[in-house]
Structure formats: C-alpha cells, structure tokens
Chain A
C-alpha cells in the first residue's frame, strides 16, 4: 500500500491516505509516506503543493480530514504540537516564532514546561549547541542575531525535547551557502545518532546532496518517491512541476545604455527598532542591464526597496536619481512619472489589495502615470472603467494570467498568477526603470520562468532592471551584474559571469564593501 518500497524494518512514522480538505479544496489528497529510523527524508514540491499542510498535520497544528498516522506502527491522533513533542516529533518552522526582545535562553525556556530555572536552560542549550556544531550565546538578544543564528535557536529548542523525528521546513531559504553547509553537518550528526529528519525543500541540489529518500508532492498528491541521488535535477523537477520548465534565455546585451537608476551614498536610519538601517549604499544600473542584489533575508532588502521606490523618501534628493534626475526626496508617484515601475515583495496588501478586482489593482499602481488614459473629468478624477478593463485584459493575456471570471478579486488568484499580473502591470507601461523585490517568491516554477524571461526581455529592450532576490538560481538566470546586500551595506557590483556561488556566499557573510579580498578571491 505504501508508495515507497520500505527499505526493511518498521518505519518510525507512516502516513496512510492522509487527506486535508479546506472547504472543497483538497490541500492534501490521500498522501502515503514512510519515514525510516535514521534517514533524512526529503519532501519535495512547489509552493502550494501541500508540503506545509502535510507537516502541520504531522505536528498537530492541523487536524486531518481523513486518513491515518502511524507512529512506530501504532495508529495515533496528534491533536496539538504539545502532543507531537511528547511523541518525539520536533519541528523547525520556516517562519521563526521568537521574541526579538528576549534572550536566546528566555526564548527557549518559553517552550519548555514552567519551573525549569533559566540558568539550567542556558546550560543545557549551550551544551547541545556545542554538541551539534550550532554555536549560540544563550545570553544574546534575539534581535541582535542573524537569521542563521535564529534558526539555530529553533533547532536547539527542538533538540531539547530529545526528538526521534525532526521536521525542517525550508531551512536553507534564509541561509547563506556557508551557513547551509554547517546545517547539513548538523543534520548528518543527527542521522548518525539514529534520529530521522523530514526535510522540506524545493531546492533540488540540496536534496540530492543530503537526503536518502525523497517523496514528491504536486497539487496535494504524491507524484513520486525515489532515491534522489539516482535522479537528475531535471527528472526531479519534472516530478515536481509535472512538465518541463522553460529555461530562461539570459540577457545577452552588450550595448550598455545610460545610467538610468543610481543611488549615491544612500543612508537611511532604521524606522523601527528591529528594522535594518541602510549604510552608504551606492549602485548604478544602466539601460540594458539587470542588476541583481543577492542577500539573506532581513539584511535591508525591504528598506532598500522602500527608499528606491519612494514609498519612504529620504531627505537627500541626490541620494537616488532616476534617469539622471535627483529623486531622493520625491514620493513614489513622482518617481513613476519619471519612468520608473515597482514590484514589491508582498503581493497581498502591498502590491495588490486582495479584496479588490484586478482592474482596480491596475488603477492602484498606475492612477497617476496613466492619468490621461485612465481618468477623465479633470479634477474630479472619474475612473474610466471601460479603458481600465481593456488594459487589464491586455495584461492578463500578455502574461498568461489564469483566473476565474473576467475580473476576479486579486486575492482569489494563485500566487503565481497574481505575481504575473503585478509584474505585467508594470511591463505594460514599458518602464525605463523597473525595481523588483523578490520577483518569484512563492511562485510556481512555470510562472517564475515566465516572469524572469519578462524581466530579461525588458532589459534587452533598453530598460534598467534592478532585481532584489534571495534565490541564487534566479539571480544567475537573470542578472548581468550582481551585488550583495548584508546588514544594510551593499557590495560593489560584479559582472554575473565572474561571480561564483562561493564568492557570493562570502559577500553575504558580511565581507561587504570595497574589499580587495572579495575581488582577489576570484
């Protein structure tokens, strides 16, 4: 009955026809899965494939609609995360649940039963962290720690419960390549002790490198179970996506245009205690170029986008210029009128209002740049619905946006389709400058390749494109130049051909700025 030929012995955890319905939508549909003791088992799938729903059921966050979970051969119900922990299941979530104002030890103590003294927790935590190669200072405040260190807290917190199965949800999405290497060593140690790991990822190289077996999900169903080392990335991708993914033909323009976007010594103090301050950021993007800014999440990407888009203007007008004109102190509308377009990271509630139809979301971004076309009645500003609807339909067709109905609410579209619309909304204007933050975050592979190709094509047509991304694969696919942001500082930009992942990793780790080592390390 199991889709995987059991590799002998009783599985630690087995899942039989597990199904979770949200209304009539099956997020997980009859999932079968076996995890043997002492194996690293990969759960592969695109965003929305049902991976998170499945592990939430295993960790007692969601209750299954039907199906069975077997722990060491016995059928169990897992009604809460506490029950999962008592069984011996630990989990490290993709989004950390830490209090930034508290110390490491205090955060760990919060998840334990009350009555254990803080010093004892600190002692045990630092013992475990050394044992598994996860250095941590128990007295440090979480706010001061890097994302990689925060993840270690979560791992140590899970290890304190002495689990037999540890679930990691996309653990490397927030790590530098070096930090990821260190994590893999930890996982190898856990495996050597006979613990099992359920490793959720959509990064094929990683899975091939560290996992013993893989289960692939698509649209809530198991589409394959395999030994990832015997597969090629292409065959794994086919299982994940269901078809071959079009590869992006990279920008090959040699003709460099004028500098269309420039930041000169852009410094922005942190707006909130936990935000990142931008320090002396300098960058130049010429027409025909795609400058990609790599970096681990939370190193000032959002703040850089805010300053470049003009959502939060800065006092120094010359800090940002668009097409040669100083724009630092101008708002987003003025910068749009100068020919810039913007795609923020968060789709819902920033790039789009989920409750409003697509056509309204077109007006959202272009109410001033296309004032003459979209509005009439002079100062009254009457929206010309017919014109807007035609433009909206054109964008949907150009970007192949799949939707139900003529003009559905933005929130009803899948992430990939909404992102295609949001990117298409800007491309439709042929902006001279396009600034995109995380263009394909949480987007399915088909839509991602469509969006990346569109960015490359825009640059080829002579525009300047700035892409901020955490996804190195994406960066190498689209970029002509690459710079790295770390703790609010931006490195020099290097031609994409000259950079390796390792060098980017070094830059991510804080070797920012005009350092000779970085240039010579090549």
Chain B
C-alpha cells in the first residue's frame, strides 16, 4: 500500500480562503488537548491564552509592539518567497539592523540632534540589507543555496551582538552587565498614542504592508516577482533578470528586517543587550505563510502571532506552564496551515496494488 497525493483539477477557491481559519481552529483544538494532557482545564487555559489579552489596553499595546516586527519582517519575506528566494535568515538581518542602527546612539552618544533617530532608522535598514546581501551575493554569483547561508548567518549575528555588548560596547555605568548605555531620549522611537507603550514601529509595519500590497497587485515590479517565482525561464523570456531579483528581494526583506530590528531596540528596549528578539525573524516565516504571502493577510497573521506571544506569557503566569507553550502553538499553526494548503491543492489516495507475482500465475 502506498499513499499518493493527486493534484486536484480545480482547487476550491472557497477553501483556499478558508484555509488559514481552518488552521486556526485546528490549532486551538490541538492546543486544548495539549493543555488537558498537561492537567490544566482547556477552557480556561485557552481563554487566558487567546481572549484575555484582547480585553486589556495594556496587553493590546503589547500585541501591537510584538506585531510590528512580525509584520515588517513578514511582508519582506513574502516578496522573497513569491520570487522563489528562500530567505530564512531574517532573524540575523533583524540583529544586524539593530546593531547598525545603534552605532549612532552608542558610539556617538554625545551628539544630540533631531537627526539622530532618522539616521538610526536609515542605518538599521542599510545594516539589515547589507547582511542579507551576503546570501544574495553568494546565490547570484556562486550559486549557493540561500536557505543554508542565510540561516547560518543568523548565528553569526547573534554571537557578534553578544560579543559587542560584553566587549567594546559595554556600558561603563552598568556594573559589568552585558548591555550598552541607555539610548538618549532623542534616540527613542516615539509612542504611537498616549495610552501605552506601542511605538511608531507599528505604523512603519502598516505602511510597509500597504505599500508592498500595492506593488504586488498593481505594478510591473510585482508582476516580475510573481513571474520569476513561478518560472525563471519565462521570466528571462519576459526580459526579467532572476539575478537582479535575488538582489532586489533579499535586500528589500533585509532592509525591512533591519528596520524592525532598530525599531525594536530604539522603541521597546532602549539599549542593546545579548538577546533582543524572541525569535521574531523565524516567527515571521509563519506569519508570511499564514498570511498567504499577501501583505494584507500578513497584517492579520502578524497580529494573531503577536497574540500567541502575549497569551503565552499570560498562561505562563496564571497557569504556571512552560514558556515553550508559545513555540508549540506557533509550530502547530504552521503545520496546520501547510497541511490545509496541501489538502486544498491535492487529494490523498490510498493505492492498494497487488503483488505483481499474483498475476503472473495466470500465465
């Protein structure tokens, strides 16, 4: 017996729209089972995971704070993935952007000017883009697999940041703690509204998502991305260059990840420290796929994944379960999204084939 995936002639449009919601439902059910197995009441656990954070202004701000980098990185990645460039190293580009953007407030901490913040943001984008430029260069000119190179560069970025904050950039006033000096007030990203901590980073995310949505939907550039992603040869026939597309998509997603990095450091943390991200760069991959690689979908997906971070912290406090619950939920979600998509495109068939010998006997 073997299992065959048979491509459906007409995949249902209805179900492909429904797919992310089906996946959400299945994730909630699987999560409920998981809580029950942990000996917690599924109902109240799911309530404090998914509902409670929505009822409180403070946690709504937290959701916006966590959604901002997810959306920014996710929309950049969606462009990469649509063009068939598999940038897995957004986490590294996020850190590279954070480091590059922090040069101004850390190294030139005596310089006070209203130019500090814009410069930081530009440096952050350039840093993230340059860091994504490494796998782009390797793929475009050496034919290297970008999945491996971009992923490995994540660990280099993490260790480099660790070395910086313990070594040359360590604050003289922090009693040997591995942190840089606190950013000056003009280096802090302003808050969005007065009711809480959510900062301009969320606005950047929404602007980027809408801009990329317009690009993908209405412009020749978006068309070029789609064509090259589906068939490189047809793209060449159209006069598009897949090499240039490698550079474009990697630099764009790197710049957005870098912007997310410096926004996080400047708006939320206020200094550099060894760990500046709970895996935003990796979670954004889930966000991109949950949002069906559509920038507007990614806004919704980013908000939802942000909820899993906040909800995860909440159940950790109220039910004393491990903080790994968040990662489990995110993993389940990605699994269900991909499975639903597969089953919409294909149907499963069990093939029972008799042994060939059986029928030779007839001769």
Contact A383 B219 (CB under 8 A): yes
Q: Distance (Å) between the CB of A376 and the closest chain B CB?
A: 10
Q: Distance (Å) between the CB of A300 and the closest chain B CB?
A: 18
Q: Distance (Å) between the CB of A393 and the closest chain B CB?
A: 19
Contact A74 B363 (CB under 8 A): yes
Contact B223 A351 (CB under 8 A): no
The 8 Å CB contact of B237, one of A23, A24, A87, A342, is: A342
Given A349-B234, A356-B230, A382-B218, A363:B223 Cβ within 8 A: yes
Given A79-B356, A83-B356, A336-B239, A353:B220 Cβ within 8 A: no
Given A311-B236, A383-B220, A76:B356 Cβ within 8 A: no
Q: How large is the interface on A (under 10, 10 to 19, 20 to 34, 35 or more residues)?
A: 35 or more
Q: How far is the CA of A294 from the CA of B9 in the complex (A)?
A: 38
Q: How far is the CA of A414 from the CA of B353 in the complex (A)?
A: 32
Contact B219 A344 (CB under 8 A): no
Given A83-B359, A363-B223, A353:B230 Cβ within 8 A: yes
Interface assignment of B324: CB less than 8 Å from any CB of chain A? no
Against B, the Cβ 8 Å flags (1 = close, 0 = not) of A454-494 are 00000000000000000000000000000000000000000
Contact A349 B233 (CB under 8 A): yes
* One of A217-225, A255-263, A364-372 contacting the partner: A364-372
Contacts of A127 in B (CB 8 A): none
Contacts of B219 in A (CB 8 A): 377, 380-383
Q: How far is the CA of A38 from the CA of B360 in the complex (A)?
A: 24
Given A74-B362, A76-B359, A380-B219, A356:B239 Cβ within 8 A: no
Q: How large is the interface on B (under 10, 10 to 19, 20 to 34, 35 or more residues)?
A: 20 to 34
Contact B237 A365 (CB under 8 A): yes
Interface assignment of A442: CB less than 8 Å from any CB of chain B? no
Question: Quick one: which of A379-437 are within 8 Å of B by CB?
Answer: 380-383
Question: Quick one: which of A142-195 are within 8 Å of B by CB?
Answer: none
Contact A367 B239 (CB under 8 A): yes
Interface assignment of A510: CB less than 8 Å from any CB of chain B? no
Q: Distance (Å) between the CB of B54 and the closest chain A CB?
A: 38
Given A76-B362, A375-B220, A351:B237 Cβ within 8 A: yes
Contact B360 A381 (CB under 8 A): no
Q: How far is the CA of A365 from the CA of B356 in the complex (A)?
A: 50
Question: Quick one: which of B86-132 are within 8 Å of A by CB?
Answer: none
Residue of chain B at shortest CB distance from A364: B238
Question: Which among A353, A356, A367 has the greatest number of chain B C-beta atoms within 10 A?
Answer: A353
Contacts of A277 in B (CB 8 A): none
Residue of chain A at shortest CB distance from B9: A23
Q: How far is the CA of A24 from the CA of B231 in the complex (A)?
A: 29
Contacts of A375 in B (CB 8 A): 220
Given A349-B234, A350-B233, A381:B220 Cβ within 8 A: yes
Interface assignment of B227: CB less than 8 Å from any CB of chain A? yes
Contact A353 B231 (CB under 8 A): yes
Residue of chain B at shortest CB distance from A331: B239
Contact A368 B239 (CB under 8 A): yes
Against A, the Cβ 8 Å flags (1 = close, 0 = not) of B201-224 are 000000000000000001111010
Q: How far is the CA of A336 from the CA of B221 in the complex (A)?
A: 19
Q: Distance (Å) between the CB of A26 and the closest chain B CB?
A: 13
Contacts of B316 in A (CB 8 A): none
Given A74-B363, A367-B223, A380-B219, A82:B356 Cβ within 8 A: yes
The 8 Å CB contact of A367, one of B218, B233, B238, B359, is: B238
Q: Which applies to chain B's interface (DSSP): helix, strand, loop or mixed? A: helix
Question: Quick one: which of A74-108 are within 8 Å of B by CB?
Answer: 74-77, 79-80, 82-83, 86-87
Given A353-B230, A363-B223, A364-B227, A344:B359 Cβ within 8 A: no
Contacts of A82 in B (CB 8 A): 356
Q: How far is the CA of A75 from the CA of B237 in the complex (A)?
A: 51
Interface assignment of B277: CB less than 8 Å from any CB of chain A? no
Q: How far is the CA of A363 from the CA of B359 in the complex (A)?
A: 54
Q: How far is the CA of A429 from the CA of B239 in the complex (A)?
A: 17
Given A332-B237, A342-B237, A365-B237, A79:B223 Cβ within 8 A: no
Q: Distance (Å) between the CB of A359 and the closest chain B CB?
A: 11
Contact A332 B356 (CB under 8 A): no
Q: Distance (Å) between the CB of A427 and the closest chain B CB?
A: 17
Interface assignment of A360: CB less than 8 Å from any CB of chain B? yes
Contacts of B239 in A (CB 8 A): 331-333, 336, 367-368
Residue of chain B at shortest CB distance from A334: B239
Interface assignment of A355: CB less than 8 Å from any CB of chain B? yes
The 8 Å CB contact of A349, one of B223, B231, B356, B359, is: B231
Q: Distance (Å) between the CB of B333 and the closest chain A CB?
A: 26
Contacts of A365 in B (CB 8 A): 237-238
Contact A79 B227 (CB under 8 A): no
Q: Distance (Å) between the CB of A435 and the closest chain B CB?
A: 12
Interface assignment of B141: CB less than 8 Å from any CB of chain A? no
Q: How far is the CA of A184 from the CA of B360 in the complex (A)?
A: 33
Q: How far is the CA of A351 from the CA of B227 in the complex (A)?
A: 12
The 8 Å CB contact of A83, one of B9, B237, B360, is: B360
Residue of chain A at shortest CB distance from B355: A79
Contact B220 A364 (CB under 8 A): no
Interface assignment of B16: CB less than 8 Å from any CB of chain A? no
Interface assignment of A352: CB less than 8 Å from any CB of chain B? yes
Residue of chain A at shortest CB distance from B218: A382
Residue of chain A at shortest CB distance from B360: A86
Q: How far is the CA of A23 from the CA of B223 in the complex (A)?
A: 32
Contacts of B9 in A (CB 8 A): 23-25
Interface assignment of B226: CB less than 8 Å from any CB of chain A? yes
Contacts of A353 in B (CB 8 A): 227, 230-231, 234
Q: How far is the CA of A184 from the CA of B254 in the complex (A)?
A: 62
Interface assignment of B354: CB less than 8 Å from any CB of chain A? yes
Residue of chain A at shortest CB distance from B8: A23
Question: Quick one: which of B214-272 are within 8 Å of A by CB?
Answer: 218-221, 223, 226-227, 230-231, 233-234, 236-239
Contacts of A76 in B (CB 8 A): 359, 362-363
Q: How far is the CA of A349 from the CA of B236 in the complex (A)?
A: 10
* Interface pairs A-B: 3 shortest CB-CB: A333-B239, A381-B220, A349-B231
6 contacts between A and B (CB under 8 A): A24-B9, A76-B362, A77-B354, A86-B360, A342-B237, A367-B223
Given A332-B239, A346-B233, A377-B219, 5 additional A-B pairs, CB 8 A = A71-B363, A79-B359, A349-B230, A353-B227, A363-B223
| Chain A residues near B (Cβ < 8 Å) | 23-25, 71, 74-77, 79-80, 82-83, 86-87, 309, 311, 331-333, 336, 342, 344, 346, 349-353, 355-356, 360, 363-365, 367-368, 375, 377, 380-383
| Chain B residues near A (Cβ < 8 Å) | 9, 218-221, 223, 226-227, 230-231, 233-234, 236-239, 353-354, 356, 359-360, 362-363
